[in-house]
Every structure is written in structure tokens, then in C-alpha cells.
Amino acid sequence: MFETAPGIKLPFPEGIPQQYEVQEGRSIRLNISFEKLGALVQNVYEMLAPPLFFVLELPLNLREEQALGAKAGRHREVLYLDGQSLDQIHGIMERFGKLLLADGMSQFAIASHRSREEIYVQKYKLTDLYSPSPRRFVPLLKSYGLTETDRLFTPWDSFSPEHPGECTRICMEGLDVYQAAEILKKQGMYRARIVEE
């Protein structure tokens, strides 16, 4: 059974295959059950060449959306924390990893400044691995029981007007992702840009 994160509801989770699709020379896109996701994220970022950087994407608050003349949920801010050692990334994930993995509103990535490789955990926990040589991650994915496919069926493919997905904000130990972002800003995280959904 495909397990979803606490902050996510899928109409038919049992129909989501634990598979990956390779875009040669570019990336791997994958579905992995929630109980395996945290370990996979750690395995991947430990394979990346430091220095590393951490990316956090959050929906803009209503006040900022209104200032842009848009409806709520139309834009997100992209925050960067550059020049991180592997130990610093471990520290971020030890402190905030459970929250980020469980939360349905945020997206995050860990990437290498040097190799430009990246793991990106998106909405509905659809995950991309970016690399000029993406097949180097295939043995790891196979160790988690994922199989290769020519066309990945994602959570997005399972939605319809009658059966939508749902993403919600999660709070753990009195902390949500917006409060986590404020803590990380004190460590040097900054807003790089605003993007439209």
C-alpha cells in the first residue's frame, strides 16, 4: 500500500506505483511511499558533492498575494541557504526533516553547488533527482524496491474535478514550516525569488 504524508490526501493512493522514470542526461522522477522518503532523501544528499545548498519553497501569505493582485495560493517564495557542509545539512534535516516530509504545503530541495545535482521533494511528495548522470542513482532506487517505467503515473495523474488531491499545513511540536523558515533565516537563508504556481 502506498503511504501518503500526513499533510497530503490522495483520492486513490493505492493506485500510485512505486516507480521511477529516467530522463537521460537530466533527471529521474519518482514516486516513493512516505515511510521510505526520509531515508531516501538522506541517502541521496549524502551522495552529493559539497558544498551543498538547501532550498525551501512556501506559498506566499495572503497579504503578499493581495499585494501582487492575485488570489491566495497563486505564488510561492523560493528560499536558499547556500554554502552548507554535509554536517550542516544533517543538522537542518535532524531539526526540521520530519516536519518538511510530513507537511503538505512546502517543497524542498538539497543540491550541490559543485556538481549541480539535486533532490527535489515537490507537492504531493513527487520527487525529482537532477543529475547529468541520473542513472548513478538507479541502484539506490532499486534497493528501495522501485522499478523503472517509461511513463511514470504520478499523483497528479490520479486527480479529477470529482476526486482532487489536498495539501495541508502540518504543525509538529508547536512548529510549522513558516516558523521553521524564520529560524533558518537567522542562519542565513534568504528569499531568492517569487514564482507563480
- pLDDT of the residue at 131: 98
- Section 151-178 average pLDDT: 95
Reported pTM: 0.94
pLDDT at 89 over 80: yes
pLDDT at 71 over 80: no
- Section 21-42 average pLDDT: 98
List beta partners, residue 81: 54
Q: Alpha-carbon distance 64 to 75, whole Å?
A: 9
- Section 148-167 average pLDDT: 95
- pLDDT of the residue at 73: 63
Cell reading at 56? 525551501
- pLDDT of the residue at 61: 78
DSSP state letter for 61 = P
